[in-house]
Amino acid sequence: MSELINCQSDKTNVTGVPAGITRRSALTAFAAALAFVGLSSASESAYAAAKTYKICKTTDVKVGSARMFSVGGRAIVVTQPKKGVFRAFNGVCTHQGAPLAARVGTVRTVSGSMICPEHSAGFDTNTGAVTRGPASSPLSKIAIKVSATQVSVSF
């Protein structure tokens, strides 16, 4: 049986930017402002900062799971907390900086939480919030987009 994954119904902006303002549009506005005041090299940096990476296929991350990827020199975790809803987070624990998986692949999850292998801190697969110490700060969110079966992240 094939599984139809529809992320179009999930309108949550994972960057924390208010609805209607995308990360790219915010960066574009910032770059335009920099260009206006004559800081064109800074403007170019702002455009370059929003690079998009094709990270995986939707079938690579099963419902309820989390998976670590190495993208653009960063550890990124992609989760699918419920069918068709994908999230991406910085894959480095906020406690003492351990990666959430020893290598690219599955991140251990228990009851909707990603578990750090170092001291067992837990992070919500939907929000990145701390669900169990010793970490006290949430995982930072990464902008994610699903187009058909392609999952991409931007940072």
Sites of contact with ligand FES (CB under 6 A): 93, 95-96, 98, 116, 118-119, 121, 134-135
Question: With respect to ligand FES, which residue has the nearer C-beta, 85 or 122?
Answer: 122
Question: With respect to ligand FES, which residue has the nearer C-beta, 95 or 141?
Answer: 95
Question: What tokens were used for 32?
Answer: 């335009």
As measured in angstroms, the least distance from the Cβ of 92 to ligand FES is 9
As measured in angstroms, the least distance from the Cβ of 99 to ligand FES is 9
User: What SS3 string covers 52-79?
Assistant: EEEEEEHHHCCCCCEEEEEECCEEEEEE
Question: With respect to ligand FES, which residue has the nearer C-beta, 132 or 145?
Answer: 132
Work out the end-to-end distance of the chain between its first and last CA atoms, rounded to an integer number of angstroms. Answer: 35
As measured in angstroms, the least distance from the Cβ of 94 to ligand FES is 8
